Structure 1
Amino acid sequence: MHSCLHCSSLYQQNVMVMTALIDMYVKRGKLRSARMLFDRMQEKNLVTWSTMISGYGMHGCGKESIQLFDQIKHSMRLDHIAFVSVLSACSHSGLMEEGWRCFNSMASEFGIAPRPEHYACMVDLLGRAGKLNEAREFIENMPIEPNSSVWGSLLGACRIHPDKEIAELAARSLFELDSKNSGRYILLSNVYTSLGKMAEANSIRTLMRRRGVKKTAGYTVIEVKNKVYKFLVGDRTNPESDLIYKELNILMERIKQIGYVPNTGFALHDVEDETKEQSLFAHSEKLAIVFGMLKLNPECEIRIQKNLRVCGDCHEATKFISKVARRDVFVRDSYRFHHFSDGSCSCGDYW
């Protein structure tokens, strides 16, 4: 009996260690290594499967997530985390039919009552696809009270598909539930900006200041030769800042020549267009990428990580940079991974 318990303990420890390694590879953007390790494991538990399913989702590989989910859904007892993993993967990849199938099967096939996080995934799925009215109706018909994650998903969708009425509805609910979260104010302000309603956008930022809500400072980090470097917007603390900005200006001109157009909607408000363009050039993502180009061998891929969602202009610029510089760029932001190569991104611009 003692021997059996010992073997069981070793098995559990081994599965935990291997699963942690898979998670590490996923979060480092090394999806192939994660899958190779996953396939080599003779024994896997539900956490292992969920980690791999979630990993594919974070990298925009929704179909692979569904394939794994379909392999295990009738062979082991599923939990709510497994469904969050697969529903999130569906929303990141625009897999509407698959998402609905998984969501509807939770209670009917597996006896799992959907939680707020599952509803948030479905709102995100509908919203990203531009089905904002359907998303709103979905929330209105929820059998449980929607939380900030649910309303946040709806407001986030309005950033992609600007809708003043629905954005205001979501924001009102969010301000009641989570009035100190700066991201909600910024999202609503950006929706107004994208619709050309600058007075409303400015009023939201004024409301932030009046309520004492401070915007979370965005930053990007890059590791070079086992040392981590951190960049803020307009950062000049790096000893090689002059060289970084010189190379950055050259790079921006190169990508402009092949079609890049700065999206000044992501720049500072209330300044001239030329100033807006310059502020975009100094975003932390671009500074970190140029630093990587200067410090890493040409054959090395560039890996950066941002604490917030990657800027829309930086996302577009990085596609062009990967083409003209012939460098693969991996970006991990607070939501997902982006792999830029030869002018395109692994997310397929669906993010």
Structure 2
Amino acid sequence: MASAEKVFDEMPVRNLVSWNSLVAGFVRNRIYGKAIMTFRGLLLDGEVGLDQVSLSSVLSACANSGELGFGRQVHARGVKAGADGLAYVENALIDMYLKCRCTEEARVLFESMEERDVVSWNIVMMGSVQNEHYEEVCKCFSAMRRDGIRADIASFSTVLQALWCIASWGQGATIHAQIVKAGYAMHCSIGSPLITMYAKCGSLADAYRYFEEINNNLSVVSWTAMIAAYQQHGHGDRATELFNEMLEKGIEPDYITFICVLSACSHKGLIDQGFRYFDSMSKIYNIVAGHEHYACIVDMLGRAGKLEEAKKFVDNMPIKPDASVWGALLGACSNRGELEMGEKVAQKLFEIEPDNSGNYVLLSNMYAYHGKLEEAKEVRRLMGCKGVRKETGCSWIDVKNKTYIFVVQDRSHSRTKEIYAMLRKLEDLVKEKGYVADTRFAVNDVDGYKEQGLWYHSERLALAFGLISLPADAPIRIKKNLRTCVDCHGVMKLVSGILQREIVIRDINRFHRFAHGSCSCGDYW
């Protein structure tokens, strides 16, 4: 871009095309500040007007840099120039407002459009994913099809992403059928989203089945998606096998591939192998390790109980440790009951990301586990003083292509009486097998950690609903937005053995596949 800028500066006369070319060039190279500065220069020039290319280019710069204020000014300029009704400009405006989280303004613009093409719909769906309005994406996709607009690769990729975020396997399978019908099943850009959708909806078998179907049309992205799927489901050995298969086929791993395979080594305790992969990044593939890779190594050492070695590794990092690295170490301290180191690491995290409630909760739980209830309460009070709120726990379950959401002590469902009756039945069944509630992390009754409160956690409500709604041989797939608590984890193991049901829970950390009384995570998560 430096050469292009030099040529532009030396031009004796500049027309709109030359201005537009420079603005668009900066946007393509993600130099958004200079794109906006150049557009300002265009406005000051006064010799040339504006067209849809000028407006859409600078709006893209505003969208990707969060410059909402200037974006609004550009919107006003577009209206004044009579260009706001042009499709390019309308789409760019909607994209800008959505990326700046002004969803209502984006909605008004979208609904006022005289003609909406597939690009318009895709922008709205992508924006909804970015704003975590996943159910809205599904509604938009259906509405687009009803309007007679043919979905393209971007449409399918976006709706698949929304579906894996809400773990809606049934709807995902329906979209897969539509992809096949549209002739996109073998397209390289669909491979990774479909594999990821099935894996994140808890069906590793479906993910691998599709992976094998497109075996002759696999890119590094698709290989990485399948490696990630095995890693997330606790099959670290299979993930590393697949990684080696990929290398044998002459496909070079990328930055993301190494995150996945290092995480797989961490979960399976493959320390020597993990370090070999880590070293190969720079020595063989010329990939500079990032924070995510260092965090994997810290997690790997922590899982093996090598906390001092993990801390030394962090201290000797060539780059400054970020929240992901310190978070991995705090998680290891929590799982190993290492309070002294955990306190110091937590303080680091409070400085780096003061609004992350998860760090406070982990430290509070560590204090509670060690019987230091006053210190645990003090951490909770600190959260209140800083205005940090713990995210509300939610669980999703898909039944007959419809997604149901549960929160703790939820009584909003039409089948609430049946759900709570099933919970009471489950409580009796697990107690017969020796279940004793794990209240080690109890701080006070309000926090819902006492025995009875544990039975109304969102994942147990989702489990009960699944048991009364799904066929007896169907796996129960649940998504949880937070870490599954120790007591719920124990109950799920017992229920899977007593009822001989497969239960799959995807929490914020990983997948838990409960079967025959045990969990795929090996009780470390």
Note whether the superposition's TM-score is higher than 0.5. yes
Per-residue deviation, residues 245-299 of structure 1 (Å, max 9, x unmatched): 22212211211111222111245x2249x98100111111111101111111212
The number of residue pairs the alignment matches comes to: 340
CA distance in 2, matches of 1:176, 1:12: 47
Provide the residue aligned with 2:198 in structure 1. Answer: 25
Which residue, 456, 477, 487 being the options, matches 1:303?
Answer: 477
Per-residue deviation, 1:72: 2.5
Per-residue deviation, 1:81: 1.0
Provide the residue aligned with 2:394 in structure 1. Answer: 219
TM-score of the pair, normalised by structure 2: 0.62
Provide the residue aligned with 2:69 in structure 1. Answer: none
Equivalences for residues 158-307 of structure 1 within 5 A: 158-267=333-442, 269-271=443-445, 276-307=450-481
* Stretch of structure 1 that moved more, 282-291 or 21-30: 21-30
Per-residue deviation, 1:35: 1.5
Which residue, 14, 32, 36 being the options, matches 2:209?
Answer: 36
Task: Name the aligned partner's letter for residue 314 of structure 1.
Answer: C
Report which of the two structures shows the higher radius of gyration computed on alpha carbons: 2
Provide the residue aligned with 1:98 in structure 2. Answer: 273
Provide the residue aligned with 1:67 in structure 2. Answer: 241
Q: Secondary structure at the match of 2:395?
A: strand
Flag structure 2 segments of 5+ consecutive residues without an equivalent: 1-182
Q: Secondary structure at the match of 2:209?
A: helix
CA distance in 1, matches of 2:449, 2:365: 18
Provide the residue aligned with 2:514 in structure 1. Answer: 340
Per-residue deviation, 1:116: 0.6
Label 1:105 to 1:275 Cα distance change in 2 as closer, same or farther (>3 A): closer
| Matching of residue 108 in structure 1 with residue 264 in structure 2 | no
Over aligned residues, Cα RMSD in angstroms?
A: 2.0
CA distance in 2, matches of 1:76, 1:329: 35
| Matching of residue 83 in structure 1 with residue 258 in structure 2 | yes
Per-residue deviation, 1:11: 10
Per-residue deviation, 1:223: 1.4
* Stretch of structure 1 that moved more, 212-221 or 127-136: 127-136
CA distance in 1, matches of 2:258, 2:424: 46
TM-score of the pair, normalised by structure 1: 0.92
Provide the residue aligned with 2:6 in structure 1. Answer: none
Q: Identical aligned pairs, as a percentage? A: 46
* Stretch of structure 1 that moved more, 37-46 or 111-120: 37-46
Provide the residue aligned with 2:308 in structure 1. Answer: 133
Q: Secondary structure at the match of 1:264?
A: coil
* Stretch of structure 1 that moved more, 68-77 or 19-28: 68-77
Provide the residue aligned with 1:4 in structure 2. Answer: none
CA distance in 1, matches of 2:382, 2:492: 33
Provide the residue aligned with 2:492 in structure 1. Answer: 318
Ranges of 4+ aligned residues in structure 1 off by more than 4 Å: 10-13
Q: Secondary structure at the match of 1:73?
A: helix
2:441, 2:449 within 8 Å by CA — same for their partners in 1?
no
CA distance in 2, matches of 1:138, 1:222: 40
Label 1:138 to 1:12 Cα distance change in 2 as closer, same or farther (>3 A): farther
| Matching of residue 14 in structure 1 with residue 187 in structure 2 | yes
Per-residue deviation, residues 119-172 of structure 1 (Å, max 9, x unmatched): 011111111222111111110010110000000111111221111121112111
Per-residue deviation, residues 276-325 of structure 1 (Å, max 9, x unmatched): 10011111111110111111121222111111121221111101011112
Label 1:280 to 1:130 Cα distance change in 2 as closer, same or farther (>3 A): same
Provide the residue aligned with 1:52 in structure 2. Answer: 226
CA distance in 1, matches of 2:325, 2:356: 15
Task: Name the aligned partner's letter for residue 224 of structure 1.
Answer: V
